[in-house]
Chains A and B, each alone.
Chain A
Amino acid sequence: MPDEDTVTNETTHLPTWTLEELAEGTLSHAEKGLALEHVRQCARCAAEVDAHRALFSALASLPSFEPSPGFAGTVMARVTLPVTAPQAVLRRRWLPKTKRGWMTAGVGALAPILPLMAMLSWVSGQGVNAGSAAGRAWAWFAGAVWSLVVRAAGAFVGSGIWEWLVTTGNDLVGGTRGLSAAAMVFAIAIPLSGWMMVRLLRTPVGMTHAH
């Protein structure tokens, strides 16, 4: 005669996975309720849960081991500490750390130089024999780049920002040097804002979870 607490039909026992998860406490609330209800009536499943719990408890109670007393000293002797000078810290904080970061910074830094290069290439291309294949290719390239720059500049000037920058520059530095000042501000602001944006985007949200 079977034990009254035992569900005799083999197929009605809970799978080992479920019993392990029950012992581990990783079942969802609903699953846990159902599993507990079964375990209360089934001695075999209850014994299996107890066996899992005993194993987990035995594993959790195992001690951790301490390395030899000189361990920390040996490790620190092999570690190269970063340079701690304030300039070096600032440099490390702002300079890119990865290859991709350097590429992005490079593109950002080159962006304001490109229009100047385009203009120079257009000017220097004037001397090339326009009839030759190289001359035609050069003229096409320079024309395309220049056209792009003119369009972008036209849109920018049309927006009124350029005028505002020049006027503000004139007010600040006096005379008509506002154009140069605005150009300088612009040349610095573009790569700087690009770099700030990249840094902001690369900073993960909620970093304090590390423990």
Chain B
Amino acid sequence: METLPDGTSELNATSLTDHDLVVRAQNGSDQAYRELLGRYQRPVFSLIYRMVRDREQAEDLAQETFVRVFNNIDRYDPAYKFSSWIFKIATNLTIDWIRRKEVPTVSIDGSRYATSNDDIEASTITVESGDENPEELLESRELGSQIEVAIGKLRPEYRQAIVLRHIDDLPYEDIAQIMALPLGTVKTYIHRGRKELQDMLQHTRV
């Protein structure tokens, strides 16, 4: 049993809260870092993977997320949930990557410069065919169901909000904090995302 410099032991790391683990990590406990990594690697990787739909890139971004979080663990503000902090860093990195990667053409999901619902609809190109390039097809196959493909077709902001709400089961307030948006905007994104998903999936059983 490892004893930490602050006199506490490493026993039952799994029963500790995130905050306790962060305190131990700040005190140099390698096991606390590993426990936090174990708790969050799946949700963080899944969120990023659903956003970028490229396993290799998702791993790189997830790695970068954890490295940033762990190397700045001293700056963690306990007034916020640790989960919100790590998801915020993950989504910021992912959105930045998506924006850098984006070619200057009109997205099939509507212009990213559109600020109102009408603008989004006016700039949206409806794609009826399910044609995907071989790489996308491979990713879609791993991601599985039609619902995953439909999520992948949402605007990044809607996709992010939908995944955080319905797959990671986060409350609206946490999502607003993670996305650094007003609560009303988050609710609108989720509402529109749901509507688009239902439209895309209306021919399926969902």
Contacts and interface: CB of A to CB of B under 8 A. Distances in A.
A-B interaction: yes
A79 B70 contact: yes
Contacts of B46: 64-65
Nearest to B85: A210
A66 to B, nearest CB: 6
Given A20-B191, A51-B198, A89-B5, A72 B34 contact: yes
Contacts of A30: none
A56 B147 CA distance: 11
B41 A71 contact: yes
Contact of B18 (A55, A59, A76, A210): A210
A84 B70 contact: no
Given A60-B166, A72-B38, A211-B18, A89 B6 contact: yes
A179 B33 CA distance: 51
A205 B22 CA distance: 17
Interface string B1-24: 000111000000000011100100
Interface in A60-75: 60, 62-68, 71-72, 74-75
B11 to A, nearest CB: 18
A89 B67 CA distance: 21
Interface stretch (B73-81, B102-110, B116-124, B126-134): B73-81
A204 B49 contact: no
Interface in A122-166: none
Given A55-B198, A204-B79, A67 B162 contact: no
Indicate the size class of the contact surface on chain A: 35 or more
Contacts, number: 127
B169 A60 contact: yes
SS of B interface (majority): helix
A71 B62 contact: yes
Interface of B: 4-6, 17-19, 22, 25-30, 33-34, 37-38, 41-43, 45-46, 49, 58-59, 62-63, 66-67, 70-71, 73-75, 78-83, 144-145, 147-148, 162, 166-167, 169, 191, 194-195, 197-198, 201, 205-206
Interface of A: 16-17, 20, 51-52, 54-56, 58-60, 62-68, 71-72, 74-76, 78-86, 88-89, 92, 97, 204, 207-211
